[in-house]
Copies of this chain bind each other. A is one copy, B any other.
Amino acid sequence: MATQSDIGSVAPIRSAASRECERFVAKLDATSILAEDEKQTLRELCVDTRTVQARHDIIREGETSEQVHIVLKGWAARYKSLRNGSRQIVALVLPGDFCDLHVTILRKIDHGIVALTPAQVAYVPRRQMEEVLLHRPALARALWRATLVDEAVLRSWIVNLGRRNATARIAHLICELHARLALIGLAKDGHFRLPLTQEVIADAMGLTSVHVNRVLQKLRAGKLIVLEGGELTILDIGKLRRLAGFDPNYLQHEHLQKS
């Protein structure tokens, strides 16, 4: 019930796959400039696409895999589970993001990745990926770059968890998601779909769902956001960013820096 229903998505799988693939291609093209044949190479990575149900793992912690995975549609989360049963989400994976480019080098993955909504995922043979990294230096560089931005996001989460209170923390998450979704055309005018339960937000922000609930109500009461039915609207992005201490530079969206 979450990310379903593109109107009339009756097209055959292959064509649907390549359509979804465009978001992945467009995202890389937005941050690095790619030639047409490079884009074509990217499309050829998305031949084998599968649907993963919400709450199902795309990769389990400690697994080694012969594929690397790209989320073409839907949301996913990197997470680590603790012995006491709690879990910490360490990153949100949005459409167009790689899950695990690292396995081309590291083999074992140190965290699980779970689909938060029904997700369409490309399964790319490790070999094919390695070929691309080897023979397509421009693409290798673009992917390298995307990895470095992911790393900058990790650092910003550490700051968020270490030095901000619950309200600023959640405000910062909303600002980050807004910026990242805008880049791939999934947010416009401060409005976007937010398919996260309060428990997921809690596991990402190091809080409990009870407290996330209270904070969201405070943000609503303060006329900073509207959130209902899984749709979020930012009412005052200036105020929200100030509250969050949000500085978009780390995302390296040159064109968006100002907005």
| A205, B158: Cα distance in complex, Å | 9
A8 contacts the other chain (Cβ, under 8 Å)?
Answer: no
Question: Contact at A62–B158, with CB atoms within 8 Å?
Answer: no
Interface SS of A by simple majority: helix
- Cβ of A136 to closest chain B Cβ, rounded Å: 14
- Chain B residue with the shortest CB-CB distance to A159: B88
Interfacial chain B residues near A204, Cβ < 8 Å = 162
| A137, B130: Cα distance in complex, Å | 12
Question: Contact at B105–A155, with CB atoms within 8 Å?
Answer: no
- Among A108, A111, A158, the one with the most B-chain Cβ atoms within 10 Å of its Cβ is A158
- Chain B residue with the shortest CB-CB distance to A148: B102
Question: Contact at A163–B78, with CB atoms within 8 Å?
Answer: no
Pick the contact of A155: B62, B78, B163 (CB < 8 A).
B78
- Chain B residue with the shortest CB-CB distance to A110: B250
Question: Contact at A155–B102, with CB atoms within 8 Å?
Answer: no
Given A161-B161, A163-B206, is A110 in contact with B155 using a C-beta cutoff of 8 Å?
Answer: yes
| A27, B164: Cα distance in complex, Å | 35
A151 contacts the other chain (Cβ, under 8 Å)?
Answer: yes
Question: Contact at B110–A206, with CB atoms within 8 Å?
Answer: no
Pick the contact of A162: B84, B151, B161, B164 (CB < 8 A).
B161
A-B contact pairs, 28 of them (CB 8 A): A62-B249, A80-B155, A80-B159, A82-B159, A82-B164, A82-B245, A84-B245, A87-B163, A88-B158, A88-B163, A90-B158, A90-B159, A102-B151, A105-B144, A106-B145, A106-B148, A106-B149, A106-B252, A110-B155, A111-B155, A147-B151, A150-B151, A151-B151, A151-B154, A154-B154, A157-B158, A158-B161, A161-B162
